[in-house]
Structure 1
Amino acid sequence: MSCDEWLAVIRRNICAAISQKPEYLVWHVAEADTETIFTFDFHYDDREVLAASADVFNAVADEIPANVTVLFENLWWPGLRLTDARKVKFFFERIERKNVGIMLDTGHLMNTNPRLRTEAEAADFVCRTVDKLGPYAELIKGVHLSCSLSGKYLRSFERKVPADSSAEVIWRHIAAIDRHKPFTTTAAKQILQCVQPQYVNHELAYETIEEMIPLMQQQLSVAR
């Protein structure tokens, strides 16, 4: 697929989303492939991914109405990790559109720190990271709220591509890193009080609606 064809696909996806008349769109900023998600031997560093992501966004941003906010989401792969205010500045200085911000995914941020063992440590880490963003913390308009204490797995899995790299194996690997579990303590409330987001999305992993309901109830009970 050529660059122009790829951008055309992104434009079509944006138009499909805009047809639903959303208040905001979420744009992930990261780069990894089916090899590097296992090896962690990434081909590009944060700044290279941030610069390229800004270029791609600027090339298609005219598809987005001015009244629709675009929130760039952090991940733990190279890109917008939110762990370095200088890189956040580097990225947003390259964005040529107004009405943008950050969607803070708590689980993704926790995945950048495999030393975290408890929800209390995680809340402290998230709040300290946000505080270190300085004025760029004001760009955080929304939170994808979930708990991901995956440090044991991050420290232990073998850094090589498995013989079986099927979609199921890839999914199990990513899900082992990015847990999407509900918070069970007031660490959730601490994070929300620190960030004061306009939008909160309880982004939890579940198979059925019946399974989702108690998970949502659990997290809501400690986030309010």
Structure 2
Amino acid sequence: LVETISNLGDMKDYIKGIHLSKSLSGKYVKEQIEKYKNKDIDYSEVNNEIIYHILNIDEHKPFTNNKINNLIEMINPKFLVYEFITTSLEELSDFIKTQNKVLGL
């Protein structure tokens, strides 16, 4: 992603905000592609699984590696939005504390 932003050159200045949410779903996505490749899909069946599928692609978790700071510094956005999915206010609070700690806030 850092290389992608670097390749934008001055165009990166048009990025005004970042929706920050970690998802390490590459393995899951590749498995799903293989699972449905060359297969007739019953869309009524797929609709029942759609929320589960989306949540496995975009997990909405905080970043725990401070390397994310390099990307944020590179972009220098005006707005930084955390978007988490949690099951309780306690978990939301923990996610916010984790993200703030990694960002040095």
Residue from 46, 50, 59 that aligns with 1:165: 46
Residue from 72, 77, 99 that aligns with 1:219: 99
Deviation of 1:223 (Å): 1.3
Q: Tell me the equivalent position of 2:59.
A: 179
Q: Tell me the equivalent position of 2:28.
A: 153
Consecutive unaligned residues of structure 2, counting only runs of 5 or more, are none
Matches for 1:105-116 after TM superposition, within 5 Å: none
Structure ranking higher on relative contact order (CA contacts 8 Å, 6+ apart): 2
Q: Which has the higher helix share?
A: 2
Contact 1:150/1:176 (8 A) holds in 2: yes
Q: Tell me the equivalent position of 1:188.
A: 68
Identity across matched positions, percent? 33
Matches for 1:60-75 after TM superposition, within 5 Å: none
Deviation of 1:135 (Å): 2.2
Residue from 81, 84, 88 that aligns with 1:201: 81
Contact 1:180/1:203 (8 A) holds in 2: yes
Consecutive unaligned residues of structure 1, counting only runs of 5 or more, are 1-125
Q: Tell me the equivalent position of 1:137.
A: 12
In 2, the alpha carbon distance for the partners of 1:209 and 1:178 equals: 20
In 1, the alpha carbon distance for the partners of 2:68 and 2:84 equals: 13
In 2, the alpha carbon distance for the partners of 1:190 and 1:205 equals: 24
Structure 2-normalised TM-score?
A: 0.82
What stretches of structure 1 move > 4 A for 4+ residues in a row? none
In 1, the alpha carbon distance for the partners of 2:50 and 2:82 equals: 24
In 2, the alpha carbon distance for the partners of 1:132 and 1:179 equals: 27
In 1, the alpha carbon distance for the partners of 2:6 and 2:57 equals: 25
Amino acid at match of 1:188: I
Aligned residues: 98
Residue from 104, 128, 142 that aligns with 2:3: 128
In 1, the alpha carbon distance for the partners of 2:65 and 2:22 equals: 10
Deviation of 1:128 (Å): 1.2
Deviation of 1:188 (Å): 2.2
In 1, the alpha carbon distance for the partners of 2:23 and 2:71 equals: 14
